[in-house]
Structure 1
């Protein structure tokens, strides 16, 4: 789905202009996204299997919820909206713990260059996974996985192919922050 997004400089500061997401991706313009990682008290992470029709990384497992920040939208409002849209969970901004902003550049093709700043949050999943409602156009499946199994699979070259290829530093920081909670 195309949407209007704010463009950023390479240092993450606002440029003062907005364009359609498709244009930002075509021209490799920096923009902001939200990533929300849900964890359980049992040391599990909620993962989302990206929809088969997605432009990038279809059918791969990824962060619990992710999405673009709309033009003029606050980071927190965007995170709350994306969680509601993708997994049907209503939460407040107070339930999100920001752990960082990660710069990511991925050239998928000549026409699709993702230059993003991921505003990344943790939040405790307090309801059973079966009570979540997947956004059919975005999410093929949801699953819980232990942080130990997730770490082991990321460190196995073959098993790691089932995940969106975020940087090693990104995954290391996410797992470090989640492990601090236990």
Structure 2
């Protein structure tokens, strides 16, 4: 089994023409443009809308223990976007995607430079609406938490340094501080909030 750094990925030019293949570690060391899928799990079945985040495993090389998108991952060489999305969601949080409940947010460019980590991605972003989701988390995920969309919006808009989250069974209530979230551009997160509001 390949380690994350040995995993091979396609990379692209600015017109999204595939121009080569490199290891995941080379992709991030050199800031090569590549494709990923992002799936935000939401529950819009009640008056209070909920969004679900994963806490990344403490064993992950990148951003261990931080809270992030419900499920996300790289698109394998030659893989269709829908197949990558289905695979990543199943691997990370154990949910079988029903494509009727999936909404395409858009293709969003994220370019971030953090220490020796250069993230240059085309993110194929989706919302997956499911009532009371049942998670079966994989080894890449520490746990799942839920928070109200209104709380998430406070954090995204910079109004609070922390927000309230709940365990999936709602038995635990706790605060997550801003620095405990993976870094994403504010415009990207705002587009998620706006899309949920549609």
Superposition TM-score, scaled by structure 1 size: 0.88
Q: In angstroms, what is the RMSD of aligned CA positions?
A: 1.6
Tell me which of 110, 120, 126 is aligned to 1:121: 126
Larger helix fraction of residues? 1
1:94 CA drift (Å) = 4.1
1:66 CA drift (Å) = 0.5
Q: Which digits, 9 at most, give the CA deviation of each residue in 1:104-143, with x for residues without a partner?
A: 1222223x211111110011123x34x311112x111101
- Partner of 2:11, secondary structure, is strand
Q: Does 1:165 align with 2:183?
A: yes
Tell me which of 19, 23, 30 is aligned to 1:20: 23
Q: Which digits, 9 at most, give the CA deviation of each residue in 1:24-47, with x for residues without a partner?
A: 112111100000011102310011
- Partner of 2:26, secondary structure, is helix
- Partner of 2:123, secondary structure, is strand
Q: Which digits, 9 at most, give the CA deviation of each residue in 1:37-89, with x for residues without a partner?
A: 11102310011111112232221111110000001001111001001100111
Give the alignment of 1:12-161 within 5 angstroms.
13-40=16-43, 41-42=45-46, 43-110=49-116, 112-126=117-131, 128-129=132-133, 131-136=134-139, 138-154=140-156, 155=158, 156-157=160-161, 159-161=177-179
8 Å contact 1:80–1:93 — kept in the other structure?
A: no
Count of paired positions: 175
**Counterparts of 1:133 and 1:53 in 2: how far apart (Å)?**
18
| Structure 1 unaligned blocks of 5 or more | none
- Partner of 1:132, secondary structure, is coil
Q: Does 1:9 align with 2:27?
A: no
- Of structures 1 and 2, the one with the larger relative CO (CA 8 A, separation 6+) is 1
Moved over 4 A (4+): none
Q: Which digits, 9 at most, give the CA deviation of each residue in 1:141-180, with x for residues without a partner?
A: 1011110111123322453222112111011100000111
Going from structure 1 to structure 2, the CA distance change for 1:27 and 1:80 (only over 3 Å counts) comes to: same
- Partner of 1:76, secondary structure, is helix
| Structure 2 unaligned blocks of 5 or more | 163-176
